Structure 1
Amino acid sequence: MTTMVTAPERTGTHKSPLTPRKPRNRKSVVLTLVTGIALIYSLIPLVWLLINSTKTQDGLASSFGLWFDDGHFALWDNIRETLTYNDGIFVRWLGNTLFYVIVGAGGATFLAVLAGYGLAKFDFPGKKGVFAIVIGAVAVPGTALAVPTFLMFSKMGLTNTPWAVIIPSLITPFGLYLMWTFTEQAIPTEIIEAARVDGAGEFRIFFRLAVPLLAPGIVTVLLFSMVATWNNYFLPLIMLKDPDWYPLTVGLNAWNAQAQTAGGDVVFNLVITGSMLTILPLLAAFLLLQRYWQSGLAAGSVKE
């Protein structure tokens, strides 16, 4: 009779070679270095702008660009002069820019949300063709459409009016594509079908059910549209002739061009200070809406 002897069970923390190991967090020196260089590269223009907005016109020429002028700290004087120069035209340009952003970017966001929701949750003939057109429109730069848009608006008599800037801003192919893909991930079709069974209409489903679920994506598209409208330069440049309708981008360039005009007033300190004031609303918008647009960009990255 053969007796089988079993090896004693091993106790302790020894793990089988087949047991998967928990990945360790590794710090990449190269990645850290590249990220630091990218951060410095991004911050240097902002630092230069903040420092030089504290200098007078003479201080800009007599001091180092990345350090303050030892002679005079003129930030508050520059801000006051920027807001009052040429009968306060900067304030008018700021109001124009806010108007273009509220109507143009706001309208573009609403249309992108509405169209993205419809394309994501409704089936209709030609849907694939619409998708191809949207993808193709994303690849077309806005400057390529500026001249045809100008010729069309000129025949319609809309040039040198605010509508020449607002109407083209209402179309955002990238925002439409972003809301299309975001809606597919954020709103289950079963919820919409259950709401229809309960007797809810399509508009009620959209505004009461879909819009709250789409809030992160809406904020993301709104921020992108705001930046595009706020920084829009080429289209207003060719569409507008009346300085009273200029946005900040075109107006500040007009101030900058005065130095190259015979007898023109050199106001580089006001151009720099005005540029610094121009970026403050965008920085505030990104900081205030940070938690919304970050979650919007991360949507769909985790599957349940």
Structure 2
Amino acid sequence: MTAPSAPEQTAARRTDGQPAAANKMTEGVRSSPASTIVVTGLLVVVALYFLVPIYWVFVAATKSTDDLFATNGFWFSSDFALWSNLSQVLTFDNGIFLRWFLNSVIYAGLGALLATYFAAAGGYALAKYNFRGRNFVFGTILAGVLVPGTAIALPLFLLFANLGLTNTYFSVLIPSLVSPFGLFLCRIYADATVSSSLMEAARIDGASELRIFHTVGLRVMTPALVTVFLFQLVGIWNNYFLPLVMLSDTNLYPITLGLNNWRSQVDRLPEFYELTTGGVLLSVIPLGIAMIVLQRYWRGGLTEGAVKG
């Protein structure tokens, strides 16, 4: 038998349909120059939407109160007062801003860390263990995602008032330990990535369920855990209404509540404009650092398991 010629092989491959289908898929994936320009333009608009306020805050923090209203809001004045403004922020009222900053670190850092752990434990249990009422529990958690935090702030205040915990660190920290969205994400991620056969192998080796969770589950779920941690960190750091309801002692204020306290005094004391703008600039730096450091894990956590071969 003679080997088929190249044209015959090409015709056979086209008859088979697989290469032709692959070519059609490739052509469908390719985007036209017009669509690329439109998508790029939309991304630029979205980027400007988020970056312009940060740029304005930086520019405003470099100005005195007079220059803040007498010069262009999006450009610097001749008197660059950034360092003097930041010095005032850090030294005003015996360094109360540093106290607020430390409080926010405690509320957001510790709260996000513990909330992530609890969400991981709950999501792992709902995904890998079969027990009566599992779907009901998961449905209840999904309902919790739909409830805004402001709707439960007042009931929480009444509950904590009866327990004698209002105006304490616990009144802000304890509610921050619950993350319905985090538990939902961990449940979905654990179900897709934590291998049941790997868990069974660990059980055969004599590992306890708690040890399996810490040595196998948490390691596999790391991208999702970083995602939950980042969301909780940002949410708690920017939380305003819950501390407003729970706290009356200024020494317990987080940054959000403290800066609003300064802003409320600008009509009486205009120099508080400089304190407020400088404090806002310092308050966004930790979130920017966290986003830069954790963004690669965040992207991985959101897309892991989305496509399966």
Superposed counterparts of 1:119-268, under 5 Å = 119-260=126-267, 263-264=268-269, 266-268=271-273
Matched, 1:285 2:299: no
- Matched to 1:297, the amino acid is L
Maintained 8 Å contact 2:123/2:187: yes
Maintained 8 Å contact 1:55/1:74: yes
Sort the Cα spacing of 1:78 and 1:8 in 2 relative to 1 into closer, same or farther, 3 A. closer
Q: Residue 140 of structure 1: SS of its match in structure 2?
A: coil
Sort the Cα spacing of 1:123 and 1:106 in 2 relative to 1 into closer, same or farther, 3 A. same
Distance 2:5 2:126 in 1: 65
Distance 2:45 2:10 in 1: 44
Distance 1:76 1:134 in 2: 47
Distance 2:251 2:52 in 1: 33
Maintained 8 Å contact 2:65/2:270: no
- Residue in 2 that maps onto 1:49: 57
Superposed counterparts of 1:65-144, under 5 Å = 65-70=73-78, 72-144=79-151
How many residues are paired up?
A: 295
Q: Residue 92 of structure 2: SS of its match in structure 1?
A: helix
Encode CA deviations 1:168-223: one digit per residue, 9 max, x unaligned: 10111000001010111111111111111121111111111111111111111111
Distance 1:50 1:57 in 2: 14
- Matched to 1:104, the amino acid is G
After TM superposition, the structure 1 stretch with the greater mean CA deviation from structure 2, 170-179 or 15-24, is 15-24
Maintained 8 Å contact 1:172/1:225: yes
Distance 1:158 1:205 in 2: 36
Encode CA deviations 1:87-135: one digit per residue, 9 max, x unaligned: 1100000011111123211111111011111111111110111011011
Distance 1:240 1:9 in 2: 81
Q: Select the residue among 286, 295, 302 that pairs with 1:297.
A: 302
- Matched to 1:108, the amino acid is A
Distance 2:50 2:183 in 1: 29
The two structures have a TM-score, normalised by structure 1, of 0.92
- Residue in 2 that maps onto 1:37: 45
Distance 1:266 1:257 in 2: 12
How well do the aligned residues superpose, as a CA RMSD in angstroms? 1.9
Q: Select the residue among 58, 62, 81 that pairs with 2:66.
A: 58
Unpaired runs of 5+ residues, structure 1, are 1-6
Shift of 1:10: 3.1
- Structure 1 or 2: more helix by fraction: 2
Q: Residue 258 of structure 1: SS of its match in structure 2?
A: coil
Sort the Cα spacing of 1:269 and 1:9 in 2 relative to 1 into closer, same or farther, 3 A. closer
Sort the Cα spacing of 1:125 and 1:12 in 2 relative to 1 into closer, same or farther, 3 A. closer
